[in-house]
Structure 1
Amino acid sequence: MGKKRTTQMSDVARAAGVSVMTVSNVLNGRPNVGAETRIRVLEVVDELGYEINLTARRLRTGRTGTVGLIVPRFDHQYYSELAARVSDALAPEGLHLVVEQSGATRERELSALSLARLQQYDGVLLSAVGLDFADLDRIRTDVPIVLLGEQEVPDRYHSIKMGNVAGARLATEHLVARGARRVAVLGGRLDTPHHDMASSRAQGWADALDAAGLAPDPALVIPLESFSIAEARAAIAERVAGGLAVDGVLGVTDEIAIGAMAGLRDAGRSVPDDVQVVGFDNLRISDHVSPGLTSVDPGHDAMVAHALRLLRRQLEDRGAAPEHVVSDVALVERGSTRRPK
């Protein structure tokens, strides 16, 4: 008995009544195919048992068609919105996104950057939290990597950072301009050995108070461990119930600021009448809490565009000089801060 003939892409095209190029577009997830045609091609693929040889494709093109995004947590709203934005930006090019959760630990971030894992991707966007400068400096790979985050990284990496200090300063200046004089920074940290999100935003808070002639009070720096809504809610409620005088709160993320609004309500305080609150991230949910959350917009779409541009640049030129981009920030005013009198 002769060997069974392997189904070819041309067989799928013939059975579906479309061109081979259309079949290729469907199988590669490219968007320029109508829904009915796409469904018909996929039905024929299933009927004929056609299988894509990913190994052969990579050998032929040198690409996997996949980008990896490694983030600390899936359950933090910022990272879910980031993943959605990256996926939407990749879709028109027929590229796919795989998202990994590192748990913000050194071990899992190193595992995600292992040679075997990296070979699955054309490029990787890494939000590094657990890895330090020395760890990153030891990693050697031909797979393009763009680092997302606030810590110091080796110059050879392309990186995207938020305007953390500038954004926190802008938020604190806004609170002071609206009459706040005892502004707490919830989730902030001072005197940390390495720059990170919490310390950078606390620095912006301190700079704004200094400029306004208001001495930063260490008692108003309230560190957090998990940066969760529940932790923020409990922390601010406990401090206020314990006698801490505050008339403004800068949450170092929107989720923390939302927790702060709930905690202030638990402590019998009204937002914005008694205490004004500003967040950082301008998450979509911030427009739908009550009152709406005034927040720092770090330029999400621009950061995603820059990150993917830097990946493409490395794919086209492996020797491309590294770029270090810092995003622009803007304040979006909503109901959690008072209107000017």
Structure 2
Amino acid sequence: MAVTLHDVARAADVSIKTVSNVINDYPHVRPATRERVQAAITALGYRPNLAARSLRRGRTGVIGLALPELSVPYFAELADSVMRAADGRGLTVLIEQTGGDAERERSVLTGARRRLTDGLLFSPLGLGEGDEEALAVDSPLVLLGERIFTGRVDHVTMQNVAAARAATAHLIAAGRRRIVALGAHEGGGVSSATLRLEGYRAALADADLPFDGRLISGAGPWRRSGGAEAMRRLLESGLDFDAVFALNDTLALGALRALQDAGVRVPRDVAVIGFDDIDEARYSSPSLTSIDSGRDEIARTAVDLLEARIDGTRSGPPELLEAAFALIARESTAG
């Protein structure tokens, strides 16, 4: 027979309401009482009926996650982190891919699937400055990514400028002076590319190194193929450089392959650093130095914030929350 709330209450010598308060993580339960109830739950193997609890609250227990492409390693790993964070809170995640298309992103915000979820975590690429009206939805929404939109919506993001500055400074500290920014472009609106280029330029200024626009290399899509093709063009141009800051890891991995195919030694001739610290960075040859942009923290923070908005326990103005980052040094910049 299944263990019930009554069984847990009897074992912990508390009321059924106290057990319910512990399960629902209400803050006013005394620590000693909470510990006793949790011990009884563990000992008896009690499993809360999350579906019934959601129905009582008028909730589905499902949150949405809209991402550009799961074929991009960063987004695939972010989705995994979100699902793990949500599972820890008894939530199910409904994932949608937008392809970074503005109309599909609008559809995610207003389409019928929104009625299946209590709130949405949303990483837009197609929508931009001037599209704020699209975010005026009637259910909780947390954006993942750059603060493109002003004022009216929660954001959980990474420290793009500071992290890019640290990545470039790492190369400068290793004695590199001619550093390519791979995947960057001048101008445009707020984006990962423009923010990371800002950090790159700040690090050059910190070291009194001149900015050379010839070292800014566009790369088309931020994929291995884009990084490899951009690196081949750089090598064919005869441009002198001794390091590469790739604006994401897949660009860096493509660049590594092109450098190796051309007989360029990494890191002896050219040091390479990426951004995102995807799993593959650990296993490339050489292993790739990268920026851990705080993916797991972004996922946990976003899920916590979204659930708090759903529950109404955080009802203040929109928040901007930034995850910490770390530079992970590996073979591609060693020596």
The alignment's TM-score, normalised by the length of structure 2, stands at 0.82
Partner in structure 2 of residue 120 of structure 1: 116
How many residue pairs are counted as aligned between the two chains?
A: 297
**127, 131, 134: which is aligned to 2:130?**
134
C-alpha distance in 2, partners of 1:77/1:239? 25
- 1:3 is aligned to none
Between the aligned partners of 1:59 and 1:154, the Cα distance in structure 2 is: 34
Aligned to 1:4: none
Distance in 2 separating the partners of 1:241 and 1:325 = 43
Counterparts of 2:79 and 2:135 in 1: how far apart (Å)?
24
The code of the aligned residue for 1:251 comes to: A
1:74 correspondence with 2:58: no
Greater mean deviation of Cα atoms: 309-318 or 200-209: 309-318
Residue 224, structure 1, aligned to residue 219, structure 2: yes
Q: Which amino acid aligns with 2:167?
A: A
Indicate conservation of the 8 Å contact 1:277/1:294, yes or no.
Answer: yes
Decide which of 156, 160, 171 is 1:160's aligned counterpart.
156
| Partner deviation per Cα, 1:310-341 (whole Å, 9 max, x = no partner) | 112211227322110122222110000023xx
Aligned-pair CA distance for 1:94 = 2.3
Q: Does 1:205 align with 2:205?
A: no
Cross-structure match for 1:190: 186
Counterpart CA distance in 1 for 2:135 and 2:320 is 18
Q: Which residue of 2 aligns with 1:284?
A: 279
**In structure 2, what is the equivalent of residue 97 of structure 1?**
93
Amino acid at match of 1:242: S
Residue of 307, 320, 324 corresponding to 1:324 = 320
What secondary structure, in the 3-state scheme, does the structure 2 residue paired with 1:134 have? coil
Contact 2:78 2:296 in 1 (8 A): no
Tell whether the 8 Å contact from 1:160 to 1:327 is kept in structure 2 after alignment: yes
Letter of the 2:137 counterpart: T
The 2-side partners of 1:134 and 1:20 are apart by 53
2:134 and 2:172 map into 1 onto residues whose CA distance is 44
1:279-331 Cα deviation digits (max 9, x unpaired): 11111211111111111111122211211121122112273221101222221
User: Which 4+ runs in 1 deviate beyond 6 A?
Assistant: 56-59
How many angstroms does 1:57 deviate by? 8.7
Note the C-alpha offset of 1:19: 5.4
Please state how far the C-alpha of 1:210 moved relative to its aligned partner. 1.6
Instruction: Kindly indicate whether residue 46 of structure 2 is the aligned counterpart of residue 62 of structure 1.
Output: no
Report the more deviating stretch, 104-113 or 321-330. Answer: 321-330
Contact preservation (8 Å) 1:119, 1:143: no
Structure 2 alignment gaps of length 5 or more: 6-40
Identity of aligned residues (%): 38
Give the conservation status (yes or no) of the 8 Å contact 1:240–1:246. no
Contact 1:190 1:203 in 2 (8 A): no
Matched, 1:245 2:229: no
Residue 254 of structure 2 aligns with an amino acid whose one-letter code is G
CA distance in 2, matches of 1:183, 1:19: 63
Counterpart AA for 2:2: V
Report the AA paired with residue 89 of structure 2.
E
- 2:288 is equivalent to residue 304 of structure 1: no
* Pick aligned residue for 1:269 from 264, 274, 280: 264
Query: 2:154 touches 2:319 (CA, 8 Å); kept in 1?
Result: yes
For structure 1, the residue ranges without an aligned partner over 5 or more in a row are 1-16, 22-31, 39-53
Match of 2:167 among 171, 179, 184: 171
The answer to whether the 8 Å contact 1:57/1:64 transfers is: no
Over the aligned positions, Cα root-mean-square deviation in angstroms equals 2.5
Q: Tell me if structure 1 keeps the 8 A contact 2:135–2:153.
A: no
**1:116: Cα distance to partner?**
2.0
Distance 1:185 1:226 in 2: 15
1:233 matches 2:228: yes
Contact 1:313 1:320 (8 Å CA) reproduced: no
**SS state at 1:280 partner:** coil
Shift of 1:253: 0.5
Given the superposition, is the C-alpha separation of residues 89 and 138 from structure 1 closer, same or farther in structure 2, using an over 3 Å criterion?
closer
Letter in 1 for 2:60: T
Counterparts of 2:118 and 2:243, CA distance in 1: 45
